[in-house]
Structure 1
Amino acid sequence: MNQYGKYKNLFNKIYGESQIQLDAKMSEHIYFKVGGLVDILLTPNNVEQLKETITICKQNKIPFYVIGNGSNLLVRDGGIRGIVIKLCKLNRIERVGNKITAECGALLKDVSTEATAGSLAGFQFACGIPGSVGGAVFMNAGAYDGEISFVIEKAEVLDDNQEIKVLSKEELNLGYRQSLVMQKGYVVLSATFDLTPGDKEKIQDRVDTLTTRREDRQPLEYPSAGSTFKRPEGHFAGRLIEDAGLKGFTIGGACVSEKHAGFVINNGNGTAKDVLDVINHVRDEVKKQFDVDLYPEVRILGED
């Protein structure tokens, strides 16, 4: 039963009909392709709609969750009670000189493409990360010896009072898969990246190399949330999982990838429970065999 659908009329005042979905299938909005229904899914076109939405939710005590591209998200099979605000339409990208400013919903691969077009180096590491700018700043996303903290100059965020703040790189307090934004529960609105002029051909070559490496080593043909676990200090999660003999370990429609043990994938008609059961088994086995704690990198929302 939809517990919050009765509030749809409140959002009709600020949204067009196509921006509001009741009982939306979250499996259609996250890369894992699993998960139950959300009572109301909203896709704002601008920051003002976002701010008004959050105000309505707080005034009416409606739980809400802000998501980006859904690439690092797992929604449980019982779905989400309340509101999901998906920021995919806030996706403008602007390049001025050596700097690129991108809205939260802009895809990292599109920012990388813009950087390459402007002969700007430093963002190539993100060319294959499937997430959006907002999520990347939220978790200080990284790959191939690069991360957001290396290139970001500042970020525009929405605080708890729906006030817009501009935070410098230092104020963002970016660490391994963490940030002030995550700690405070702020919403990233945009980010500005300070890049380095370079040779366009060399920049494109690096992008091509990383793209090939990713295609060769990662199970991109299956739904997943990328690397499932954070890197434990002094170890690599994928190597620990492989050494534990867990490659190919399967529960229902979810399994540890044979191609890269750091990925839990949906190999058919998996459910969120299947994915979580595989994650929990992997954590238990690695702890038992190596006394190392693994923590999920994926964000988990919803109810069983």
Structure 2
Amino acid sequence: MMEEVFRELQEADIGRTAWKEPLSKHTTWKIGGPADILIEPEGIKALQKAMNIITARNVPWRAVGRGSNLLVDDSGIEGVVIKLGRNMEYMEEEEMQIRAGAGFSFIKLATILSKKGYSGLEFAGGIPGTVGGAVFMNAGAHGSDMSDIVVKAHVLYPDGSLVCLTNEELAFSYRTSILQKERAVVCEAVLALREGDKEVVVEEMKKHKDYRRNTQPWNYPCAGSVFRNPLPDHAGALIEQSGLKGYRHGGARISEQHANFIVNVDNAEATDVTAIIKHVQHTVQERYGITMQTEVEIVERSENG
């Protein structure tokens, strides 16, 4: 059946269509088995066409950006993986409002706009991923997040309808949005920025980038912060105080530099990372009575769709 879906997607000429492509090529952890089918739509219309085929065939699907917040099972992902990348990387300006495609690199967008003296995205300095992923996760840092600047987002639902959701309708909260409960794909977002002092904005961006570079282990494949901060506590501090810095399982290890990072030091598999996650959760629960919830999305093959 999947072979038929693959042929149909190829014939629909929606963009790149790949069979059984390893998702380790598409995640920042460099971990993950194959997707049955991977597609990279050439634009919103191509994405709609693909979604109509996927829905008509009742095939499981999942959207990904740069895979910076994703742990994919070693057995891969069932069904169709929709990658929103370079083909949906565009930006338009209208006064202080920016319309950006879901595939646009979040840090690249922030860097471009900071050099124009636009203020509001300084917190994005060093945050990996795409605009679509940032909206989906309500990405943030340094006391700011996407909820502060998103005016609206255009999202595609499985029935093929393209809907505009306002900031309020996106129901942002800490590292979440309504899109984590509803099945929809972010296609583009409109952000409201402010006119700022170019030198001040660029310096603020640089400060955040330098802070991340100096405190986080980007010299190894990783996926950013693994656990949500159980406010008012901080995940990294709880893990460090539990004596878990440097804890290793297989090819994965809790970073010596930042305890809320799990790094791929030697061809780690998803099972290595999940073993560490469970060990951290058990240890912190036993010691502090605090339940540690993951910020990264863990995708097991049977869960897709």
TM-score range, shorter chain: over 0.9
Structure 2: segments with no counterpart, 5+ residues:
none
Write the mapping of 1:33-48 to structure 2, written as runs, cut at 5 A. Answer: 33-48=30-45
Structure 1: how far apart are the matches of 2:7 and 2:166?
38
1:263-290 residue CA offsets vs partner (Å, 9 max, x unmatched): 1111111111001101111111000111
Structure 1: how far apart are the matches of 2:29 and 2:267?
11
Q: Match for 2:26: what amino acid?
A: H
| Misfit runs of 4+, over 3 Å | none
1:104-159 residue CA offsets vs partner (Å, 9 max, x unmatched): 11011121122113211110111211110111111101112210011111111112
Equivalent in the alignment of 2:244 = 246
Query: Does structure 1 residue 21 correspond to structure 2 residue 43?
Result: no
SS in 1 for 2:123: helix
Q: CA deviation at 1:10?
A: 0.4
Of the candidates 278, 298, 301, which is equivalent to residue 299 of structure 2?
Answer: 301
Structure 2: how far apart are the matches of 1:61 and 1:157?
20
1:210-233 residue CA offsets vs partner (Å, 9 max, x unmatched): 111110000011111100001113
Equivalent in the alignment of 1:159 = 157
Of the candidates 162, 165, 168, which is equivalent to residue 166 of structure 2?
Answer: 168
Of the candidates 183, 202, 207, which is equivalent to residue 200 of structure 2?
Answer: 202
Equivalent in the alignment of 2:190 = 192
Q: CA deviation at 1:234?
A: 2.0
Q: CA deviation at 1:180?
A: 1.4
Of the candidates 209, 212, 229, which is equivalent to residue 211 of structure 1?
Answer: 209
Of the candidates 144, 168, 173, which is equivalent to residue 146 of structure 1?
Answer: 144
Query: Does structure 1 residue 261 correspond to structure 2 residue 259?
Result: yes
Q: Match for 1:193: what amino acid?
A: L
CA contact (8 A) 1:244 1:285 kept: yes
Of the candidates 276, 279, 282, which is equivalent to residue 281 of structure 1?
Answer: 279
TM-score of the two chains, using structure 1 as the length reference:
0.96
Equivalent in the alignment of 1:32 = 29
Equivalent in the alignment of 1:183 = 181
Structure 2: how far apart are the matches of 1:81 and 1:158?
21
Give the CA RMSD over aligned residues: 1.4
Structure 2: how far apart are the matches of 1:43 and 1:220?
26
Equivalent in the alignment of 1:64 = 61
Equivalent in the alignment of 2:230 = 232
Structure 2: how far apart are the matches of 1:62 and 1:186?
15
Write the mapping of 1:74-113 to structure 2, written as runs, cut at 5 A. Answer: 74-88=71-85, 89-113=87-111
Q: CA deviation at 1:183?
A: 1.7
- How many residues were matched structurally? 301
Q: Match for 1:194: what amino acid?
A: A
SS in 1 for 2:190: strand
Percent of paired sites with the same residue: 36
